[in-house]
Amino acid sequence: MKIIVNGVEHELAAATLAAALKTLEYENATVATALNGHFVPARKREEAKLAEGDRIEIVAPRQGG
Amino acid sequence: MRLYDVEVASRLLLGTAQYPSPAILAEAVRASGAEIVTVSLRRESGRLREGQDFWSLIRELGVRVLPNTAGCHSVKEAVTTAQMAREIFATDWIKLEVIGEADTLQPDVFGLVEAARILSEDGFSVFPYMTEDLVVAERLMEAGCKVLMPWGAPIGSGKGLNNLFGLRALRAHFPDVPLIVDAGIGLPSHASAAMELGYDAILLNTAVAKAGDPASMARAFALAIEAGRAAYLARPMEPRDMAAPSTPVLGKPSLAG
């Protein structure tokens, strides 16, 4: 199904946010996630089911002022 | 200086953006003596992993991080960003920015107060990036903020303290609240001036990152902030309009002829 990851469309078979992170190779990275604009804590990623057209944001530490 | 429940010795908080290289960033942080650096959250690419390298560098520096919500224009974006930051950086501290205007990057103070309330109730220690408005400051305190961060001038402008009167009034109205000038500082003299007004600390980034020699400039800011603080504690003289001779007049020989 089509999932938007960080603004880019992906074709993913993953059923959950946790599975999507694994497919996209973020498994061991320090990242935080949001699904359709809502924060999803790491411990809830297994329960976060994905549906066609969902928007995932995956962020990491970056330089800031 | 106490910021929420943390005792901090250095009164310089340094941003980590816009340095020529990670090595120069590290050198500047060390030279500044800063114990707190600001960081952000941005989209991570699965392949490039830029964020992972940056995070390793910051952890090696052994400093406390103050994550920001830079670039957020709505309460919802800022709150969600803060929640993500808390998980990644394992800190309740958040430099809350809710931007209201694109050219000046001035805060949307209405959204700021609302976001500050939501986050404070959720256990965050909020460092609000605000204008020097007294009423906004009052509302932020009511919302749960225990530190206030008025701008000196627009972010990245390097213009220094645009509203000395307003900053002085804010200091006078909130004598016991830690006040940090955040944004607009261009020169060590600007930072020193803010400290002489009785401000508790300075948060800056561009003035160091964009200097020809960031590490030397970081050191210059550290010295200026220390000097300004010492001057404030020493209670400066009152200025006056007319000259007053410093050398005694009494006892001057009569030599005019």
A58 vs B25, B44, B52: nearest CB? B44
B252 or B199, which is more confident?
B199
pLDDT surpassing 90 at residue B120: yes
Report chain B residues touching chain A, CB-CB < 8 A.
Answer: 15-19, 25, 38-47, 49-52, 54-55, 58, 67-68, 70, 76, 80, 83-85, 87-89, 155-156, 205-206
pLDDT surpassing 90 at residue A3: yes
Euclidean distance between CA atoms B213 and B235, whole angstroms: 33
Residue burial B190-208, b: 16+ Cβ < 10 Å; e: rest: bbbbbbbbbbbbbbbbbbb
Give A28-52 pLDDT, tens digit per residue.
Answer: 889 999 999 999 999 999 999 999 9
Q: Which residues of B touch A58 (CB under 8 A)?
A: 43-44, 46
The residue type of B197 is: L
| d(CA B109, nearest CA chain A) in Å | 19
CA atoms within 13 A on the CB side of B3: 28
pLDDT for residue B249: 87
Lowest-confidence region among A6-10, B47-51, B122-126: B47-51
Tokens of B100: 């209201």
What is residue B153's DSSP assignment?
Answer: S
pLDDT surpassing 80 at residue B131: yes
Instruction: List residues bridging with A11 in a β-sheet.
Output: A2
Q: Say yes or no for a CB contact (<8 Å) between A64 and B40.
A: yes
pLDDT for residue B48: 72
pLDDT for residue B107: 95
A39 vs B51, B55, B84: nearest CB? B84
Report chain A residues touching chain B, CB-CB < 8 A.
Answer: 6-7, 24-26, 29-34, 37-39, 41-42, 57-65
- Among B125, B124, B119, B131, smallest CA distance to B183 is for B131
pLDDT for residue A38: 96
pLDDT for residue B42: 95
Nearest CA in chain B to A25: B46
pLDDT for residue B188: 98
pLDDT for residue B47: 74
Q: How confident is the model at residue B45 (pLDDT cuts 50, 70, 90)?
A: confident
What is the average pLDDT score of chain B?
96
**Interior CA angle at B37 toward B35 and B40, to 5°?**
155
| d(CA A8, nearest CA chain B) in Å | 11
Q: Say yes or no for a CB contact (<8 Å) between A60 and B85.
A: no
Nearest CA in chain B to A21: B46
pLDDT for residue A28: 85
Q: The complex's ipTM?
A: 0.94
Q: Which residues of A touch B84 (CB under 8 A)?
A: 32-34, 39, 59
Euclidean distance between CA atoms B147 and B61, whole angstroms: 25
Question: For helices B134-142 and B109-121, what crossing angle results, to 10°?
Answer: 20
Which pTM was predicted?
Answer: 0.93
pLDDT surpassing 80 at residue B46: no
CA atoms within 13 A on the CB side of A4: 10
Euclidean distance between CA atoms A9 and A4, whole angstroms: 4
Give B53-100 pLDDT, tens digit per residue.
Answer: 999 999 999 999 999 999 999 999 999 999 999 999 999 999 999 999
Euclidean distance between CA atoms B173 and B71, whole angstroms: 30
pLDDT for residue B184: 96
Known catalytic residue: B95? yes
pLDDT for residue B11: 98
pLDDT for residue B224: 98
Test mutation, B39, B84, B86, B93, chain A, max A CBs within 10 A: B84
